[in-house]
Structure 1
Amino acid sequence: MDWQSYARGLALGVVRPESRWYGPLATTPRHVFVPRWWARGNQVWELRDGPADAEIWMRSAYTDRTLVTRIGPVHADQAEPGATVKTGSPTSSSTLPGLVVTMYRHAMIADDSRVLVTTGTGYGTALMCRRLGDDRVTSVDIDPYLVTTATERLDSIGLHPRTAIADLTGHLPGEYDRIVSTVSVRPVPASWLTALRPGGRLVTTLAGTGLIVTADKTEDGGATGRVTPDSAGFMRTRHGDDYDQNTDELWRKVQEADGESVTTSRYPLLYVPDSWEVMSMLALTTPGIDHRTTTAGDTRTVWMLHPDGSWARASASGFLDSPTVHQGGPRRLWDELERIRHRLNREGGLPVYGAHVRVDPDGTLTLSRGSWSIKA
């Protein structure tokens, strides 16, 4: 297979030829790390087997997009041929290469940096090894299968970084100049600050938001930085084979229920994850909301569900129609969303992007911009 020409095409689509990341992108065989993956089909996730169709494999692996490799506890590598998965959330993937490079660029990596990265499929680890040399790279993941498989695939292309099975939120195996997480966290683990060398930098996303945070270690053991102008969404850290589905029972209970409050919204229907800025602000003020959407004919419905029993359901038949909103439980989730949309409409923007970041030594994170501040 002429994977090299595909890899060069990917590199040219992500960076300029003079970029220090062009070489790693152009010389790293991404298909080695994603021989099988899950593709979203009609109401189900469908297994794709790369070796069964080399052309589709090459096109998929060397396109700048995320390839989902695991749904719930079911990894594509271990699924039966022709398998489908009806329910579940992605729990592992090969992140789109352009976003991996964006995260690495925010880390401001020097040629002598020692870097900790998250493992996943191992492709991002391979890019970092190509950039720095594998002796300067440590790669960790909580999943033994992912670490073992990524290590074998890295070995197969001549790369031998340090790999370890480790909970990213716990003790880390060493000290580093940079920590770059393509898994989202909240709060920032205090162990990261312990593992960072003086002046070291961490780069991560905050769980539930689209916010990329960079912060440099300060003399008091904390860190300061900012929220970057770029947006990104990563899977959050997990401590088992799957994420807890804390709102499934609530979802079943309230699908046809009348709300304790029934109103008409002044704004068009919004599925919150479609708006990075609104989603991020809402996740900071009201964390833990599960967003879902359904369509029946011309009617689209969006849901907001919270583990505390709060819920909202909004439906509309057209883009310009005012949605009818049902709300129940201890909090009015749609009202929280409306307050944010009022502010966006009034001020033309929200204060989350570009905000100053302060991470205390215990991991407490504060975002602030002008008179606005919030602990995240």
Structure 2
Amino acid sequence: MSAHALDPGLDDLATLARAALVREIDRSGAWAADPVWREAFEAVPRHLFVPYYYVGVLGGFERVWCEDPDPGSRERWVRGAYADAPLATRVRDGELVSSSSQPSLMAKMLTELEIRDGDAVLEIGAGTGFNAALLAHRLGDDLVTTIDLDPEITESARRHLATAGYHPTVVTGDGARGVPERAPFDRIIATCTLTSIPPPWLPQCTPGARILAPMATGLIALHVRDAGHAEGRFLHTPAYFVPLRGETRHQEPEPQHLGGLPRWARSHELFRFLLNLTAGSLDPYEAYTLWERENQPVRERYGITVSDEGAWAWLDDPEGPYAWPLP
């Protein structure tokens, strides 16, 4: 048996579970601003993109898969495939290297991408192919490009997509370089965490394009003015993703020593966001002073500017007193 040829009982379970997931996302309000995405989530079967995944157990990971000889385990696999939760899909040396994102967060990100009919979209991080399938369902195969560094990931994504009936362009390469041969793009969406906006992306965008990317445990939405300038603010939504991998990505910041800071602050989600955003530019004590002085700012007060001179993050105003360079 395979994920693509379920026995009738599991097929019915998958249909019911998908409908339940769509209702759950509906209740969350994730696609309220663009409910057309509901149709894509109703139509694209997630289980085809996760024939196996891993769940954390004491001491490591346990694989849950579609061909488990135990019927109860196969049922568990189907239910898990339609849970509103991220799924670990590729583990190497005990480290997570690829995952299928939480569906409600995917819906929120696709909605925030503000797609219009006819938009050409580049996805950075192919993952299982599920997100590319949702995009292709709405826009058509020809307008969707997805890229990943790992040939195993792109090959499996391509296979999953074909099984589900979608054929967007799947590229093996460094996402930080973009895909110039498929440009220009009206939208770029990243499904991996960045430390800065890769310079090659802007020249591959049309004027007025929108870039949505995870950064510093948040989501930055940038408006591209032209090949040399983009600017935007963070969304309210928290977001945790696997880091972008590749030759051109920036090095991850060194772990910071926080021993002198109040324990409650060290574990506060919004302070952790600021620490990530200012890593390498402000020391943690400067960041804490700013955070307290400005009444523990929410994510939406922060933004990013990308220009020919470089990239910087800021609080409240790009020209204001609080700004710091990105890596």
TM-score by shorter chain over 0.5: yes
Question: Is the aligned partner of 1:123 residue 2:123?
Answer: no
Task: State the Cα distance separating 1:69 from its structure 2 match.
Answer: 1.2
Residues in 2 aligned to 1:213 and 1:145: alpha-carbon distance in whole angstroms: 29
CA distance in 2, matches of 1:363, 1:245: 18
The counterpart of 2:118, out of the listed 112, 116, 122, is: 112
Q: What is the aligned counterpart of 1:267 among 249, 262, 269? A: 262
Structure-1 separation of matches of 2:261 and 2:186: 49
1:205 equivalent in structure 2: 214
CA contact (8 A) 2:302 2:313 kept: no
CA contact (8 A) 1:190 1:362 kept: no
Single out whichever of 190-199 and 345-354 deviates more from structure 2.
345-354
Q: Which moved further from structure 2: 212-221 or 2-11?
A: 212-221
Shift of 1:357: 2.4
The aligned counterpart of 1:15 is 26
**Which residue among 82, 86, 93 is the counterpart of 1:62?**
82
User: Kindly, what percent of the aligned residue pairs are identical?
Assistant: 26
Residue 285 of structure 1: CA displacement? Answer: 2.6
1:1-376 to 2 correspondence within 5 Å?
A: 1-2=11-12, 3-15=14-26, 19-52=35-68, 53-72=73-92, 88-117=94-123, 118-172=125-179, 173-175=181-183, 176-206=185-215, 209-219=216-226, 221-239=228-246, 267-268=262-263, 272=266, 275-287=268-280, 336-337=283-284, 340-341=287-288, 343-345=290-292, 347-350=294-297, 352-361=299-308, 364-370=311-317, 371-376=321-326
Q: Is the 8 A contact 2:236 2:299 kept in 1?
A: no
Amino acid at match of 1:142: L
Structure 1 contact 188–365 (Cα < 8 Å) conserved: no
| 1:63-101 deviations in Å (ceiling 9; x for gaps) | 11000112236xxxxxxxxxxxxxx33110011111112
Alpha-carbon distance, 1:181 to partner: 0.4
Look up the SS of the partner of 2:177 in the other structure.
coil
Q: Is the 8 A contact 2:126 2:153 kept in 1?
A: yes
Residues of 2 paired with 1:34 and 1:57: CA distance?
9
Please state whether the residue corresponding to 1:21 is helix, strand or coil.
Answer: helix
Structure 1 pair 246–217 and aligned structure 2 pair: CA distance change class (3 A): closer
- 1:175-212 deviation digits (Å, cap 9, x = unpaired): 21000001112221111101111111111012xx1121
Q: Does the 8 Å CA contact 1:355/1:368 hold for their aligned counterparts?
A: yes
The CA distance in 2 between the partners of 1:189 and 1:58, in whole Å, is 37
Tell me how far 1:340 sits from its aligned partner.
4.2
Q: CA RMSD in A?
A: 3.0
Partner residue, 1:298: none
| TM-score relative to the length of structure 2 | 0.81
1:366 is displaced (CA, Å) by 3.2
Q: 1:151 Cα deviation (Å)?
A: 0.7
Aligned residue identity for 2:273: S
Mean Cα deviation higher: 354-363 or 163-172: 354-363
Q: Assess if the C-alpha contact under 8 Å between 2:175 and 2:246 holds in 1.
A: no
Q: Compared with structure 1, are the counterparts of its residues 186 and 266 closer, same or farther at alpha carbon in structure 2 (3 Å cutoff)?
A: closer
Residues 224, 160 of structure 1: alpha-carbon distance in 2 compared, 3 angstrom cutoff: same
List runs of 5+ in structure 2 lacking aligned partners.
1-10
CA contact (8 A) 2:213 2:219 kept: yes
Mark the CA change 1:345 to 1:95 in structure 2 (over 3 Å): closer, same or farther.
same
Find the residue that maps to 1:198 and give its secondary structure.
strand
1:275 offset after TM fit, Å?
A: 3.4
Structure having the larger proportion of residues in helix: 2
Q: Where does structure 1 lack aligned partners over 5 or more consecutive residues? A: 74-87, 251-258, 289-332
Change (3 A) 1:364 1:157: same
Q: What SS does the aligned partner of 2:17 have? A: helix
Q: Secondary structure at the match of 2:182?
A: coil
Q: How many equivalent pairs are there? A: 297
Q: Distance in 2 between matches of 1:160 and 1:220?
A: 29
- Answer yes or no: is the 8 Å Cα contact 1:129–1:136 preserved in 2: yes
Instruction: Please give the TM-score of this superposition, normalised by the length of structure 1.
Output: 0.71
